[in-house]
Structures are given as C-alpha cells and as structure tokens.
Chain A
C-alpha cells in the first residue's frame, strides 16, 4: 500500500487554510501516529483521504489511483478499501452488533441483501471470526447502544476490518475512552496492524501513547507537518515546536485546550472569574 499526499490544502468556507500544502508519504505497514493540538488539522487530513471532506486543492494517490478526482461509484469503491474508526465510535445505536459489523460490507452487497439482512455466508463467517477475535461473540444480537465505550470501539474496529481495507484511518479512537480501555484498544489496533500487515493512520492526542504504539510519528501544527520521524526522535524541543502557543479552536471534540489554557494570554482571568 502506497499513500501519497501531495500539496494537500483545505479551506473551510472563506476562512483560514486548515491544511497548508501538506506533503505526506505512507508506505508499507505499521502505525503512523499523527499528533498535534486541536485545530492543527488532524481530523481534516484523515477525512480528506476518504473524501468525507473535500480537499480544496492538492492530490492524494492510493496505489497509483488519484483519489481527489473520483466521483460516484468509483468514489464509493475507493472508500471500500479505506477503513475508518471514529472518536465517538459512530455505530448505528439502534441496530445490533452483528448488523453494525455487517454494515462494513455495505459497499459490496446489493440493496436487497442489505435491506433483508441476508448477507453472503462468507461475510457472516468473517463477522463471527472477528467478533470472537475481539471477545464480543456473546453480544452478536445486542443493541449497539447497550455496550460500553470500549466494546463499541471494538465493534467499530471489526466493522472497518470487514471491508478488508488496504489502510485504516483511526480518528482519535481513544479520546472518549478511559485510560485502561484506551490502552486495550490501541493494543488491539497494534495487533491487527501487524497480524494483517495493515497500515494505520492514527490521530492521537496522547503523546505518550503515540510513542508507545506507533512506528512513526508525524507532528502537525496549524496545517503543516513540522515533525516526521521515529518515536525516539520525538524530544522536548520537537514537542514544543508542535504544541507551543496553540490555544485550541475549531475541533470541538478535542479537550487539549483546557490543558494548555494557562499559556494563552487572558485565559487566567477567565479561570479566576469562575472561581
């Protein structure tokens, strides 16, 4: 798998550029962790790859195919080969675990099969196998919203793997989980990545975990890459250059700003007033 991102830019409406002519080259397998403060563009970057967000300019090629030009059925076929897991799991709450897992195959089955829930036996075998792998075989017909956060994310991982993707995009998959469960999920992603030879792009704001689980770290700051290297090379100076002076706006799901508030001019006043 070779993912080539070339001069990728994204502007929302008439505002500032969120991604500024970003260049990134991903090949082989392994986990590439993308770190940076909120508003740095991590989420936008991932979503540009599978076109959930439309790039403003630039090119993205996956195994030689130009992704930014795809439309209609070709776009949907491309999405099949890109799996994605989300910070809020994004499961269909009212459907069962099995239906959520099988929905990973929606790009491959007919409308009738999807509507009647009569999926090919091969898909069902695969589903059961994966659910056993993540320890959820007893939850097959339980409604997704009865599961805990960690369980839901496991279902999310299985759903993505059902697509048999070439690459996995993980958008802050542990941000909504407690520390222990976060580690479980990251370990699962790590195991899957090495077992299947599946490259993973992992947005993560916990730098320690990024260092622990990733083979490569990319640091994003205000839409440009300012660090790209091995975890061992990520020292204090590098971290400062990624995070310094960022107040955190834009990405409403990222709580990093609260940690950094004392470095923002005037934020201290706010804290005092409330006390």
Chain B
C-alpha cells in the first residue's frame, strides 16, 4: 500500500500563487523604493503623531458659536447642492439610459456628462469653481452638485435600464403618449432606487462639504484651515470633533429617512 499524499493546491496552482506573491512583492518594492520618502521622518512618525495629538488636547471650546454656524452652513451647502443635483441628474439619467434615450447623440451626451462629472473629484470641482466664481458658497454648492450629478445619474441610468419592459409595453398598448408612458411605466419602477440614491448621496455630500472650505469654497473647512494655519491645534481638535458629530448625525438621519421612505 502506497502512502497517501494530499496537498492543498496542485503544482500549477502553487506556481500561479507564487507568481502572484512575487508580482505583488515586486510591485511593492518598486513603489516604495521609487517614492520620495524621507525615511528619517518615517521613523520619527509615531513620536510626531503623538506630539500632535498631545497639542490637540484638550479641545478648545471658546469658538463654539462660530463653529456651530459654520457647521450649519456646511449642511445647507450639502442639502441645496444635493437637491440641485437631483433635478439635473434625472433628465441626464433619462438620456443616458439605452432604453429611454431619444437618439444616439443624446445617449453619448448623457454618458459624457455622467462620466466626466463622476470622475472629477469634488475638491477638484471646487478648485475650478473657486477660480471662476471666487471663494464662497457658490463654488462649494456647484462643486458638490456637479459631482453628485454623475453619481446619481449613473445609478439612475442603471435603474432605468433594468426596468421590466413588459409594464411599459402594457401602458403603450393603452394608447398613452410617451410622457404618460414614462409617468406610469417607468417612474413607479425606479422610484425606490431614486430615493435610496438620493439619501445616500446626501449623506456622502455632508462629508464632502466639510472639506470645501479648505480650498475656499465655504463651510466649516474655512475655520479648519485658518486654525491649522495659526497652529491653533486645540481649535483644530474641536472642529474635528464637530465634524465627527455632524457626520454621525447625517448618518442617523439618513438611516431614519431610509426606513421611513423605503
């Protein structure tokens, strides 16, 4: 009787796994070596981080009023921008969905709008709009709105493309015109997705709005930036805690809305 032999992976599988490990290690080594990292600072990092955290405590409470109103401004920016984006994203999604787009040209236009607004980060949009409209909330609202159009537009277009065509067919058979076909055949099918996406994006936008001020586009980021510039670390700590609070609040509200609406 010969001894039994069991191995977890066949020879070929083992070779592929080694290859994958090797490739990963090679890529990592290249990445780390090539990066312009100043290694003494890396060794020093824990000390520096601890030092910074030390300088942040205890958080300063003097400017609470100002921080509070800046937080509210941040929420306003997020909310108004999300609403604006929703209004613009719906027609964009309509023309970007293969089954509802009126013609090929509009399909490409819709796709282009979705792809370009999604791929450019909110902060970069903010940079652009600050350059155009100057510092302030206008730049911030437009930045958040533009990024959101891509996000909402893509998800809504996907939802539209996945509808049950048979329901649409039945409405067409009654002699309804195209607008009424959309109203009864498409809208009820995509409404749940619409609300889910809208609430999700609003939640994300709260987070995004907190950093707009760092490039001058309004909100609590402005206070954060000036505190950092003045090395006022204890105020920085307060602002960070406030941001944490508003983000958690936003998540709670979103969860509650989702339960109510969906």
A-to-B contact residues, CB < 8 Å: 50, 52, 73, 76-84, 86, 88, 90-95, 99, 103-108, 111, 114-115, 156, 159, 163
In the complex, 16 of the A-B residue pairs with CB atoms within 8 angstroms, ordered by the A residue number, are A52-B169, A73-B177, A76-B177, A77-B175, A79-B174, A82-B173, A91-B167, A92-B185, A93-B164, A103-B174, A104-B174, A107-B174, A114-B176, A114-B184, A115-B183, A163-B175
CA of A95 to CA of B191, assembled, Å? 11
Decide: A88 and B180 in contact? CB cutoff 8 A.
no
Chain A residues in 8 Å Cβ range of B91? none
Q: Give B148-179 interface residues, CB cut-off 8 Å to A.
A: 164, 166-167, 169-177, 179
- The 4 A-B pairs at the shortest CB distance, nearest first, are namely A107-B175, A106-B176, A80-B175, A90-B170
B164, B166, B167, B174: the one within 8 Å of A106 (CB): B174
Secondary structure at the B interface, as helix, strand, loop or mixed, is helix
Decide: B175 and A78 in contact? CB cutoff 8 A.
yes
Chain A residues in 8 Å Cβ range of B175? 76-81, 106-108, 163
Decide: A52 and B184 in contact? CB cutoff 8 A.
no
Known contacts A78-B175, A79-B173, A106-B184; 20 further A-B pairs (Cβ under 8 A) = A80-B174, A84-B170, A88-B166, A92-B188, A92-B189, A93-B164, A94-B191, A95-B184, A103-B171, A103-B176, A103-B184, A106-B171, A106-B174, A106-B180, A107-B175, A108-B175, A111-B180, A111-B183, A156-B170, A163-B175
Decide: A91 and B174 in contact? CB cutoff 8 A.
no
Most buried by A among B164, B166, B184, B188: B184
Decide: A95 and B166 in contact? CB cutoff 8 A.
no
Q: Which residue of A lies closest to B192 (CB)?
A: A94
Chain A residues in 8 Å Cβ range of B183? 111, 114-115
A50, A52, A93, A104: the one within 8 Å of B167 (CB): A93
CA of A163 to CA of B172, assembled, Å? 12
Chain B residues in 8 Å Cβ range of A104? 174
Most buried by A among B169, B173, B183, B188: B173
CA of A81 to CA of B180, assembled, Å? 17
